[in-house]
């Protein structure tokens, strides 16, 4: 029996994910590493002699060295629900569109597996949020999110009437379509499309971003990771719904109170490349950087803080940032996700430490 175990999670609704998973499983098995697959996926992978089949519960990730996820960010978010309690790191291989949370692309699959076999990867932690829903003072439900928790109106025709509270003090009354409460990882996901700021991974904070608010003061807020954020659905308003990462949901009757704090458990991500977050943004968003010359190497080494840096020569006509994966949530998506992967929104934030549309 192998003393090393890897869990493979795949979006088996995509043929390319099935083929990629079969390659990963075969390569790991040849290296003498035990491989687990989830019920409902193992049958589609057609590798009965090479995998141990486990129920789709957090127990499937207990004791594994890493969870390799093949699909889009939505697939990775679903895998995070299994891996978070066990503290198992996730390594995403992007088979979707943007794949902000993924670390590798399909064309790098063989190299990625070899890095796992050789244990040549780093692990970073991403901040999460814990969510408690109360009704008449009693706990009506609990959940969590890696990207964001979103309070949304349940009836299309009517606005929500909400009161926002920060650290036990009321802040403002919003008539709106909803409110996004996001982590740095979720800052490039649903919060981004709602007008929130992009938060660099090293910054630990929570975002509060109103959606189409009819109010004088309805700006995106960035609060301390130690803060407690609460949203109260006013008694005379229509009902609402809570979405976490576009996957976990709770109904919110009028009068419900939603409390959001920093999560007790982070999500761990395996990283193959220590790429600057700026380069990740440029690559994933396709940002124009034509004309950038930067500083010359000599100027950078001998820069006087009191003077402007000098640049040698005209510089290249175009800067092509290195291709990279991972680092943030998916633009314009409500859980940070890529449409079609069956999950909700995503983004970036790590502390060492978005996704697919609903």
> Are the CB atoms for 244 and 74 separated by under 8 Å?
no
Alpha-helical regions (H) of 47-205: 73-86, 109-117, 190-193
At which residue do the structure tokens 């929570």 appear? 206
Q: Quick check: helix, strand or coil at residue 6?
A: strand
DSSP code, position 252? E
Provide the 10 A C-beta neighbour count for residue 317. 8
Q: What does the alpha-carbon distance between residue 192 and residue 336 come to, in Å, rounded to a whole number?
A: 9
Q: How far is CA 305 from the centre of its chain?
A: 37
> Are the CB atoms for 215 and 174 separated by under 8 Å?
yes
Read off φ and ψ for residue 244, nearest 5 degrees: -120, 120
Structure tokens at 28: 């790991």
Q: What does the alpha-carbon distance between residue 219 and residue 230 come to, in Å, rounded to a whole number?
A: 16
b/e 24-54 (16+ beta carbons within 10 angstroms → b): bbebbbeeebbbbbbeebbeebebeebbeeb
Q: Please give the positions annotated as active site.
A: 73
Read off φ and ψ for residue 207, nearest 5 degrees: -105, 140
Instruction: Write out the H or E segment, with its range, that includes residue 241.
Output: strand 240-244
DSSP code, position 96? S
Structure tokens at 357: 């549309």
Read off φ and ψ for residue 129, nearest 5 degrees: -125, 140
Q: What does the alpha-carbon distance between residue 111 and residue 107 come to, in Å, rounded to a whole number?
A: 9
């Amino acid at each position: 029996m192998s003393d090393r175990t890897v869990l493979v999670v795949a979006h088996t609704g995509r043929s390319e994910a099935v083929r990629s998973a079969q390659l990963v499983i075969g390569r790991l098995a040849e290296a003498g590493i035990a491989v687990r697959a989830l019920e409902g996926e193992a049958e589609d992978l057609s590798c009965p002699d090479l995998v141990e089949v486990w129920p789709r519960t957090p127990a499937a990730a207990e004791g594994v060295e890493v969870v390799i996820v093949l699909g889009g960010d939505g697939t990775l978010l679903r895998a995070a629900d299994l891996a978070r309690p066990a503290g198992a790191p996730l390594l995403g291989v992007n088979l979707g569109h943007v794949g902000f949370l993924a670390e590798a692309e399909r064309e790098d699959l063989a190299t990625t597996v070899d890095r796992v076999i050789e244990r040549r990867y780093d692990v970073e932690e991403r901040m999460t949020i814990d969510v408690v829903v109360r009704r008449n003072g009693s706990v009506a439900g609990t959940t969590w999110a890696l990207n964001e928790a979103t309070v949304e109106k349940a009836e299309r025709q009517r606005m929500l009437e909400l009161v926002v509270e920060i650290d036990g003090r009321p802040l403002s009354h919003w008539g709106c379509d909803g409110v996004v409460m996001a982590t740095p990882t979720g800052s490039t996901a649903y919060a981004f499309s709602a007008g929130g700021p992009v938060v660099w991974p090293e910054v630990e904070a929570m975002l509060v971003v109103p959606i189409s608010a009819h109010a004088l003061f309805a700006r995106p807020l960035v609060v301390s990771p130690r803060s407690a954020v609460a949203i109260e659905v006013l008694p005379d308003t229509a009902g609402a719904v809570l979405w976490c990462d576009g996957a976990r949901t709770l109904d919110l009757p009028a009068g419900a109170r939603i409390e959001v704090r920093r999560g007790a458990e982070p999500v761990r991500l395996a990283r193959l490349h220590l790429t600057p977050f700026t380069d990740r943004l440029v690559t994933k968003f396709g940002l124009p950087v034509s004309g950038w010359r930067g500083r010359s190497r000599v100027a950078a080494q001998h820069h006087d803080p009191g003077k402007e840096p000098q640049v040698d020569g005209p510089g290249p006509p175009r800067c092509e940032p290195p291709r990279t994966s991972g680092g943030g949530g998916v633009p314009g998506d409500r859980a940070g996700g890529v449409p079609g992967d069956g999950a909700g929104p995503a983004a970036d934030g790590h502390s060492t430490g978005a996704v697919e549309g609903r």
